[in-house]
Each structure stands twice: as C-alpha cells, then as structure tokens.
Amino acid sequence: MANSNLRDAKRAKNDEFYTQYQDIEKEINAYIDYNPDVFRDKTILLPCDDPEWSNFTRFFAQNFERFGLKKLISTSYAANSKKYKSGYQPSLFEVNDPQYDAYKTKKNGKIFILDHDKSGDGRIDVGDLEWHYLEGDGDFKSDEIRKLRDDADIIITNPPFSLFREFLAWILEADKQFVIVGNKNCVTYQEVFPLFKENKIWSGRTEWSGGMWFETKNPDDVDKVIDGTDMKNVSSIWLTNLDHGRRHQPLALMSMEENLKYSKHKELKGKDSYDRYVNYDAIEVPFTDAIPNDYDGAMGVPISFLDKYSPEQFEIIGSSRALGVPISEVAKKGTYMQGGPRFYLSNGDGTYRRMYDRLVIKKKTS
C-alpha cells in the first residue's frame, strides 16, 4: 500500500519536483567534509516539503546522529488539499493517526518532528519521526511557519521555482543559513545577483555542468520559471551561504597567449586576440576555462562561472544587464538584434551580435 500511495502522490503532484536522494547526499556531504560540525546541535527546518515522500526528510532523519542534529522539522503545504482530489488514497501515516477523521476534510499542512529516541531502540533515526497536522495550510509566509523559521538554525529545501525570489527574501529576512535548490537562471535575477556580487550567497558544491533536472508530467502546471515559458524539464542548481571546500579552490588557468595558441575552443584558438565588446570596455571570454591568468582588466564571462568562482581569485564587478551601454547609442549604423540590456560584439561587417548574459569579473590584486 505504501508503494501504491507513493505512486499516486507523485502522479497527483504535477507542480512539485522531487529531489533525488543521491543529489541531496552529494551536496550535503560536501559541507560535512569541509566542517564536520556544521550541523552539530543545530535545528534544521525543511519547509515547502512533502515529508511523507521527501528525500530531504529521509536523508536528514537517517543521518540525524551522524550529523549531531539537535532537531529536525519538516513541513508540507496543503492548499487545494489533495484530500479533495478524486480518487485520493490516504497514506499510512494518515490512516493510522487518531486525528485523521477530524482532519480529513480540512486543508491542513503537516509537520514532522525528530528530536529523540521515540522507539527506545537506542538510536534516533527515521523510525522516530512524529507528526501531526499544522493549524494552517503550511504556507511558508504564514505566522505558523515563520515562527518555525525563526527558531531554526538552517533551512534546507527545494522551494517552488515560481516563488524563489519571495522564498529567498523570506530566509534572508531572518538572517538564516540555508541550502536551497533554484532554477539555474535565478542567478541573473535583480534580487539575487547582488547577493552573489557581495558574497552573501554562492553556488553549492554540486557542479552546474549537467546539473540537476526536474520533470513534471503536465507542463501547464509547471511554474513558469524560464523567460515566462512553460517548461517540462528545468535545469537546477544548489545555492547556499554555508561554506564548502570547492569555493576556495582557485581555477588553474593558462595565460592569454597560451589560450590563443592552445585553447581547445575553436572560438579562441588561432585568433590574434580576445574580442572586445562594442558597448562595454571588457574582453569577451566565452568559456570559464579560457579566462586568462595574466589579464588584469575587466572580462565578460558566462554565468556558469559562478560554479567555479573563488572569491580569493576574482572579484565580481557586475553583470551585462546593468553595465551594458544601450547598443543604439554605440552602433548608430549597422544591423543588430534589439532586446534587453546585453553586451554586443562586432562581426566586422557592419553587423553586431548580442551575447548571452555575462558576468564582469577582474582578477584579485590582493
């Protein structure tokens, strides 16, 4: 019955993405490797969750003692409760709960708590989880969940992508440590990028190349997260303000001369020099591994640079969305693609091509 319920729940939740256990394990273990006591005596809150099926809840419950946790809290959001959906099958947690008959017609979220050895077997793990219904629907903006946030030390979750800006602001408002999942393009949001620039948040341990992909069966129900279009598959990344070792590993780079001579990228190999933007004073570096180690000026790099960014090696100046001079003010004649603030390169024939979003960086001098 449990397996059947799991399948039914996953089919019913078209707007929810399930983070794989191995992705959570890989990411969280990196923080433990860097600081074995990072979670010790801490209360961890997993909001925007579905504790019955969540790999976040299972992972932290199974590692409660290894991490030295003080308390684990996991909450679910239940607006438009699935109890109202045709054919809904209650979970084993629900049918065995004496409160179920009283609550089965309500739109209440759930809270799972782990903080002691309930079973008496001498260890604290997933079998000791206790749960009950919340007073409200579990919305993270509610006073009920806000109090849990304020009492927690670290917040870890995969929030709804369409509410990412609001959710991140909710965390920062309380000045909490966090590890969360976001759509890869979120780093360009005007509410998010300045936090990267100021080293208040950074990329998690998991590499962006390949990334994590989440899928929903009904594109009409997916959060419209990328350029306002419906997406069935969304590439996602970890964002955090917890430290990890990769963040302090400098990139091994070649000189400008070596890149132009030996680069594996056809866009650079054999050229006389790096291209320069026509509407901003910086060179175009199309790949992170092509950043020259002997150039002291401004460089435009892909947003994927943040995956390898070490604050000891480079400083972030800004982004093309804020720094680019409007192309119409620079290229009075010629052909170019309009639309949004971007950097442009000259094609050498009176036409110009617009680049993807770029970050502007400089080599750290001290």
> What confidence score (pLDDT) does residue 315 get?
96
Mean pLDDT of 304-327: 92
> What confidence score (pLDDT) does residue 84 get?
37
The residue ranking higher by pLDDT, 71 or 22, is 71
> What confidence score (pLDDT) does residue 231 get?
42
Q: What is the pTM of this model?
A: 0.81
pLDDT over threshold 70, residue 92 = no
Domains observed in the chain = 2-248 (3.40.50), 256-363 (no CATH)
Measured between alpha carbons, how far is 285 from 276 in angstroms, rounded to an integer? 9
Mean of all residue pLDDT scores within the chain: 83
Measured between alpha carbons, how far is 172 from 229 in angstroms, rounded to an integer? 28
Cα separations in angstroms, 174 against 53, 115, 137, 150, 362? 28, 23, 21, 6, 32
pLDDT over threshold 50, residue 233 = yes
Measured between alpha carbons, how far is 163 from 177 in angstroms, rounded to an integer? 19
Total residues belonging to the chain: 366
Mean pLDDT of 348-355: 87
Residues 6+ positions from 349 with CB-CB distance below 8 Å: none
pLDDT over threshold 90, residue 173 = yes
Which of 39-48, 230-239, 258-267 has the weakest average pLDDT?
230-239
Q: Which of 56, 60, 50, 65 is nearest to 13 (CA)?
A: 50
Which of 90-104, 199-213, 315-329 has the weakest average pLDDT?
90-104
> What confidence score (pLDDT) does residue 64 get?
98
Which of 14-28, 77-91, 238-252 has the weakest average pLDDT?
77-91
